[in-house]
Amino acid sequence: MMPYLDEAFGNPSCLHSWGDVAREAMEDARAQVAQLIGANAEEIIFTSSGTESNNLAVKGLALAQQNKGKHVVVSAIEHFSVLHSARTLEKWGFEISLVPVDRDGVVNPEDVRKNLRKDTVLVSIMHASSEVGTIEPISEIAKVTKERGVVFHTDAVATVGTVPLKVKELGVDALSLAGNQFYGPKGAGALWVRRGVRIIPLLDGGVQEGGRRAGTENIPAIVGLGKAAKLAKANMATRMEHLTYLRDRLLTELPVKIDHVAVTGHQSNRLPGNVSFCVEFIEGEAMLMLLDSQGVAVTSGSACTSMALKASHVLIAMGISHELAQGSILFSFGLDNTAEDVDYVLEVMPPIVDRLRQMSPLYAKFIKSSKGGK
């Protein structure tokens, strides 16, 4: 990336030789990203982020087909960049249907079928939730959309670069990805759109990215994204093995150490580095802060953790009560994590949970009622 912030500063749209250097670097990156997902390079549109890719896909694919119909189907657990794009479409006269998920966060392809109408022009279902880790049956859903001739987009930001995938095998028409999910730089994402599928650009201007996304490209970030894609493809199997081992250890051993803990998301069909729980009777932010003071960085879907003061829509859509969702906690393992890190969490977390439960009126009530029941 560094040379493209320094001597190779050319604009890829310029015809002079500095422009050539930047353009070649960008096209190499495009090929690297395409190879990672089994696509053709010219089908890749570089964007600024996964969020932009999802906005472009949901709005751009729906707008391109509005003469055919104005109905769009998304799942209830989509990222806000999909859900809020759908809400915007609603303001523009589209109708939106939300497909539910089961307790494990899985979308049933039959529920997608039930929501399809004559005027449905787009289905957007995420490949996996980074919040609860569940991987969705995208190729099964694609069979349904293909039967009905409906364009199918998947937000694969959580999976591209982490688990092996080929766009042809998934059977989708468009797919979003972001480099920062697999050790690329922030500020570079991409949208893959199958050749022949029409999309309306959100940014008007020049003819960059095949006229589908105007604006001078962020060359250093794109080069970084390409390199990250190349490394992810080369090291996918060993990375997965490492992350799956850490995940399964924490997933199975933490509930042994701590009572009244529920795993959220699918037990086995989940992202390799994702471990998510709801801990009963206590609140996520308090847990997060005490773990942070012990050097453990986690996230939570509790209302108190969010700026909006609302519990995670993903957990609520899975049928988890607001009360239990408050105790949400998410561990995302990275390549630098080790088995010792799992041991460390297993050692420091039980006293933290215990300490917060000793303060919790809910826990006191639970103890009293369970004693009374005996």
Applying CB under 8 A, the residues found at the interface with other proteins are: 281-286, 288-290, 292-293, 302-305, 307, 309, 311, 322-323, 326, 358-364
DSSP classification of residue 174: E
- Find the shortest distance in angstroms from Cβ 317 to other proteins: 16
| Residues forming a β-bridge with 74 | 98, 124
- Find the shortest distance in angstroms from Cβ 366 to other proteins: 11
Element (H, E) at 351: helix 339-359
Distance from C-alpha of 339 to C-alpha of 138, rounded to nearest angstrom: 32
14 is known as an active-site residue:
no
- Find the shortest distance in angstroms from Cβ 278 to other proteins: 12
- Find the shortest distance in angstroms from Cβ 359 to other proteins: 5
- Helix 50-64 / helix 80-91 crossing angle, nearest 10 deg: 30
Closest CA to 125 of 102, 104, 147, 109: 109
Give the tokens for residue 282.
Answer: 């206590």
- Find the shortest distance in angstroms from Cβ 80 to other proteins: 18
138 vs 349, which CB is nearer to other proteins?
349
Side chain identity at residue 143, one-letter code: K
Distance from C-alpha of 48 to C-alpha of 209, rounded to nearest angstrom: 12
13 vs 321, which CB is nearer to other proteins?
321
Distance from C-alpha of 250 to C-alpha of 265, rounded to nearest angstrom: 14
Of the residues 207, 289, 304, 367, only one is catalytic, namely 304
196 vs 295, which CB is nearer to other proteins?
295
304 vs 339, which CB is nearer to other proteins?
304
Distance from C-alpha of 175 to C-alpha of 164, rounded to nearest angstrom: 14
198 vs 322, which CB is nearer to other proteins?
322
Distance from C-alpha of 218 to C-alpha of 123, rounded to nearest angstrom: 30
| Residues forming a β-bridge with 194 | none
Give the tokens for residue 179.
Answer: 């480099």
- Find the shortest distance in angstroms from Cβ 260 to other proteins: 14
Give the tokens for residue 49.
Answer: 């982020």
Distance from C-alpha of 367 to C-alpha of 293, rounded to nearest angstrom: 28
20 vs 292, which CB is nearer to other proteins?
292
Catalytic (active-site) positions: 304
